[in-house]
Structure 1
Amino acid sequence: MSEPGSLLRSLSGRSTARNFHSHVINEIGAGVISGRYPIGTTLPNDAELMADFEVSRTVLREALKTLEAKGLLEARPKVGTKVAKKSRWNLYDPQVLAWHLDAPPDAEFLSGLHEVRRSLEPIAAAEVARRRTADQIRLMLYWIRQMETSLTSPQNFALADFELHRIVADAAHNPFIRALYGVIELAHAFAYQRLVDTPEEEVLVAILDKHKMLVERIEYGDEAGTRTAMLETIEHDRQIALRS
């Protein structure tokens, strides 16, 4: 799940891995995040993993290297490949974030996810309100209209919601804000996960109203109002996610 929006697109049905390499990465990566491969334990040896996944040693080793680069695993001479501590996990990696969606609930992780958004997105939104352009406003209004026309299609609504937040992140011209794409998308996935399976139009209407207010405050150049409106959208996402 590396392309922005791919996690939200998968909510209506998990897509299968495209090849053996990505399959092994997904299976072991998700297994680490879920606790199936507990922290501090050593993975089965290469022969066992090759048999389990029916792949060659080359495919397996490349997959393990990828997971090491994401901070989930660490290879130790004469010991094997161990599951790394959580403090080493790259939580800004889109795949690492995406694997948390199907993992057992983690209150600390969810709290941190929304705290990062509360800390940075309102700052970005206020900056956009200060120096917004007509083109940026047109794009935001376009995604508001997409949300309006997708009230009976929660997945499309979720994608439009996410794209609106992406525009705000881009318009802030801050590379560290852009690095939040994965965080923002995962927060949206937690909020919309249940709604995709069980649509509730009144919930979507409430989300839409908050985003309309956000765009209105940006359009008016109201920095303080924009900051407040963004905080309210984030808190609303958190409350919906907690209900799921």
Structure 2
Amino acid sequence: MIEAGSLIRSLSGRTAARNYHTYVINEIGSAIVAGRFPVGSVLASDTVMMETYGVSRTVLREALKTLEAKGLVEARPKVGTRVSPRSRWNYFDPQVLAWHFEAPPDPKFHASLFEVRAALEDLGVRHAARLRTAEQVRLLKYWAHQTASADENIEQFGLACLEVHAIIADASHNELVRSVVGVVELTLALALTRNGEEGARYRKARVAILEELVDAVEKGDTEAAALALGRASAADQERIASRS
């Protein structure tokens, strides 16, 4: 499991410290998602992979167990470790989602992301507008202000946006809605790539939308909050489509 915000932090070139276990997981997992290890293919033998990644058999086996838990591979006796069909992948796993950031653009997959995001966030923000606490409203205002003051700092802007979405999810008091944060982070990261005039306009529009969202949540206006969050999602989707 990766920490929320790790993908957005990587946009500025910052990478988290990693051990051999996470290194192997990332190398194999990202290769599977990108299609370098196609669905149905059998991974190389333990001996070959140990040499390729420079790790022990214990580290390799633990990494493969983690990937199997995420649904990406399955070990078969006398066959080896085979890449699982995409239908078995755990797409709500933040790490699996993050690996899609470097994968070739897939408009169909992006559309699926936004369909799921819209459904869960609409439910979540309607509950949040009714159930939010004073402390959550304070935090929403703080992070919305951080987006406005980020200027050209893409990492600060993205992390502040993500915090707003995460607080909305928490305020919904629905634990399953919280799982949408990984989807939001991937779509935000995709939308924030390729800076410039178009990127600046996108961020300015996003700030205004978040301010409307926070105001609606504070007032307990469920319809206005849902509309604002829907516009935020639409802005991200339009941005991604423009760079495909």
Aligned to 1:105: 105
Contact 1:32 1:83 in 2 (8 A): yes
**CA RMSD, Structure 1 to Structure 2 (Å):** 1.6
Q: Structure 1 101/14 Cα, relative in aligned 2: closer, same or farther at 3 Å?
A: farther
Matched, 1:227 2:197: no
Aligned to 2:41: 41
| Structure 1 residue identity aligned to 2:71 | G
Aligned to 2:238: 239
Q: Structure 1 214/145 Cα, relative in aligned 2: closer, same or farther at 3 Å?
A: same
Q: CA deviation at 1:201?
A: 2.7
Alignment of 1:160-239 (within 5 A): 160-195=160-195, 200-239=199-238
Q: Which runs of 5 or more residues in structure 1 are unaligned?
A: none
Contact 2:20 2:59 in 1 (8 A): yes
| Structure 2 residue identity aligned to 1:205 | K
Q: Percent identity?
A: 48
Q: CA deviation at 1:17?
A: 5.8
Question: How many residues align structurally?
Answer: 243
Q: CA deviation at 1:199?
A: 8.0
Q: TM-score, normalised by structure 2?
A: 0.95
The DSSP-based 3-state class of the residue aligned with 1:174 is coil
Q: TM-score, normalised by structure 1?
A: 0.95
Q: CA deviation at 1:147?
A: 1.0
Aligned to 1:78: 78
Q: Which runs of 5 or more residues in structure 2 are unaligned?
A: none
Alignment of 1:44-123 (within 5 A): 44-123=44-123
Q: CA deviation at 1:153?
A: 1.1
Matches of 1:199 and 1:63 in 2, distance apart? 40
Contact 1:17 1:23 in 2 (8 A): no
Contact 1:151 1:205 in 2 (8 A): no
Shift >4 Å, 4+ stretches: none
Matches of 2:139 and 2:83 in 1, distance apart? 43
